[in-house]
Amino acid sequence: MTASDLSPLARIRDDVRAMHAYPVADATGYLKMDAMENPFGLPPALQAALGQRLGALALNRYPGTRQSDLKAALAGYAGAPEGSAVILGNGSDELISLVQLACARQGGGVPATVLAPVPGFVMYAMCAQQHGLQYVGVELDGEFQLREQAMLDAIATHRPAITFLAYPNNPTATLWDEAVVQRIVDAAGAQGGIVVMDEAYQPFASRSWITHLRDEPARNQHVLLMRTLSKFGLAGVRLGYLVGPAALVNEIDKLRPPYNVSVLNCEAALFALEHEAVFAQQAAELCTQRDALIAHLRAMPGIDKVWDSQANMVLVRVPDAARTFEAMRARKVLVKNVSTMHPLLAGCLRLTVGSSQDNAQMLAALEASI
């Protein structure tokens, strides 16, 4: 036995030691346009009302029945069909992990498979690695649309336990063809798989899969709808929720830590839902700003391509993404350089949609940096 064998680090899984932690850049002093956050804060009157409510909470007690109130409020807000149940999560990330953990069979044999279109949200693959599941990515086409036959072939070959479909997708902001998505959902269900419809950017999209859950419950009995309040306007609250048929949701809920959502998070989310009209107005303003941003980008010299968006982000291709990113950072504007995430994203930057003032500053930095 060597000295390295006696190190406590030797007890950490080799694959974990080989991983990289999820990076979060220090944005102090920068215009932060890299994380699709809502730029609008609460109006002063609501700040005061929320502060009073949070200050009155019993912080000496564990979270209790208020979580049931929040589940009911979220089900109503989402328009969940009868027979649904809701799981609360510490953002969407915890929910992605819980669904995968529920399907990560113990013991020998071939690990369960997670399947998703790529490029897509990095947490699908990261969680699969953490839980020892096999991850299969199916490439989108050059316009970031689903390659239907490739998806159907992958489902038939790998028989995935879970298929993730981001609706709209991140980082491409694409809302895929509804009929194509339906055929993929059907194929996954036909071989006994679960589909997670990730609607993180639902406040900015023109449609939601919740209508299918309501209109055709039998056809969607294997579909879980996942959302977050981060893009609603509460990124700092860290509140995600998963809606689906109660029989399926209740099995996954067994793995949820009993107090994963604090009383502060819960009450802040309830308060926001009581004032959802304020946040709906903010989302509408961001959609207006998104359209204006896309128009400005398409008129800007040096931009190779600008994709349509159904989220609060815009994907652009520039001649040199790394150089442009660094030059923008030197001008105190942070955007997301996604050019190395996948070959299809070569030369691409992802820009958050902000207020008119934020967008103007970002555009000026971009134009000076290309």
| Helix (H) or strand (E) run with residue 43 in it | none
Same domain, yes or no: 117 and 211: yes
Is residue 171 reached through a cis peptide bond, with omega within 30 degrees of 0 on the bond before it? yes
Residue showing tokens 């194509």: 180
Does residue 44 fall inside a structural domain?
no
For 258, the token pair is 């009993």
Pick the last residue of a domain from 274, 296, 315.
274
Are 24 and 86 part of one and the same domain? no
Instruction: Using the 3D structure, point to which of 253, 274, 295 is the last residue of a domain.
Output: 274
Residues contacting 76, CB < 8 A, separation 6+: none
Residues 326 and 290 placed together within one structural domain of the fold: yes
Residue where one domain finishes, among candidates 214, 244, 274: 274
Q: Is residue 331 part of a domain?
A: yes
Residue 174 lies in a domain: yes
Question: Is there a contact between 261 and 62 (Cβ–Cβ < 8 Å)?
Answer: no
Which parts of the chain sit beneath pLDDT 70? 1-5, 107-108
Nearest to 125 by CA among 90, 162, 150: 162
Nearest-10 crossing angle of helices 66-78, 263-274: 40
CATH number at residue 75: 3.40.640.10
Regarding whether 312 and 245 lie in a shared domain, the answer is: no
Burial 220-250 (b: 16+ CB within 10 A, else e): bebbbbbbbbbbbbbbebbbbbbbbbeebbe
Note the pLDDT of residue 354: 97
Positions of E strands within 3-161: 31-32, 84-89, 113-118, 134-139
Quick check: is 45 in a domain?
A: no
Of 344, 334, 337, 297, nearest to 320 (Cα)? 337
Would you tell me how many other CB atoms lie within 10 Å of the CB of residue 73? 17
Q: CA-to-CA distance for 272 and 9, rounded, in angstroms?
A: 43
| Residue 132 exposure: Cα atoms within 13 Å on the Cβ side | 12
Tens digits of residue pLDDT in 282-302:
999 999 999 999 999 999 999
Q: How far is Cα 232 from Cα 48, in angstroms, rounded to an integer?
A: 20
Range of the domain at 21: 10-39+277-369
> Does 70 lie in the same domain as 203?
yes
- Looking up residue 354, the CATH number of its domain turns out to be 3.90.1150.10
User: DSSP letter at 142?
Assistant: T
Task: Tell me which H or E stretch contains 352.
Answer: strand 348-352
